[in-house]
């Protein structure tokens, strides 16, 4: 593998390790391990300010955790799909430019 690709793979592995380590070490605690930090903040507000009433409710809420995860997956897929498309186009363009530059002019 070339140096360029090797470094890229290492970068991805480091990200993976950062995400998996807390899970592997079982750092999650409490009623719901690895809950969202936004839910924890909501809880902290409710605990310290029991009289606070959220004055606005979401206009649409996914009916279940499954539907919500589907929508999050859709968001990630759309983004990743476009990124893949972009790199496909950019790489092809770059190759064509290189090929055109190599062609001897008549």
Partner 1 sequence: MHIAEGYLPPVQAAAWFAVSAPFVVHGSRALVRQVRQDPETKLLLGAAGAFTFVLSALKIPSVTGSCSHPTGTGLGAVLFRPPVMSVLGGIVLLFQAVLLAHGGLSTLGANVFSMAVVGPWVAYGLYALIRRAGGGLDVAVFAAAALGDLATYCVTSAQLALAFPDPSTGFAGALAKFGGIFAVTQLPLAVSEGLLSVLVIRLLTRTSGDDLRRLGVLSRPTDEVRA
Residues 63-102, interacting with partner 1 (CB under 8 A): 68, 71-73, 75-76, 78-83, 86-87, 89-91, 93-94
Q: Which of 30, 60, 56 is nearest to 43 (CA)?
A: 30
Using rule CB under 8 A, residue 62 touches partner 1: yes
- Residue 98: CB atoms within 10 Å: 9
Q: Which of 1, 2, 29, 99 binds partner 1 (CB under 8 A)?
A: 29
- Residue 62: CB atoms within 10 Å: 13
Residues 3-22, interacting with partner 1 (CB under 8 A): 4, 7-8, 11-12, 14-15, 18-19, 21-22
Nearest to partner 1 of 76, 105 (CB atom): 76
Q: Which of 58, 78, 75, 59 is nearest to 67 (CA)?
A: 75
């Amino acid at each position: 593998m070339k140096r360029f690709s090797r470094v890229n793979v290492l970068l991805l592995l480091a990200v993976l390790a950062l995400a998996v380590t807390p899970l592997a070490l079982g750092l999650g605690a409490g009623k719901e391990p690895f809950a969202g930090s936004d839910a924890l903040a909501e809880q902290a507000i409710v605990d310290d300010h029991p009289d606070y009433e959220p004055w606005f409710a979401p206009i649409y809420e996914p009916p279940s955790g499954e539907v919500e995860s589907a929508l999050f997956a859709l968001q990630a897929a759309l983004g990743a799909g476009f990124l893949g498309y972009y790199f496909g186009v950019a790489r092809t363009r770059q190759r064509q430019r290189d090929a055109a530059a190599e062609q001897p002019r008549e």
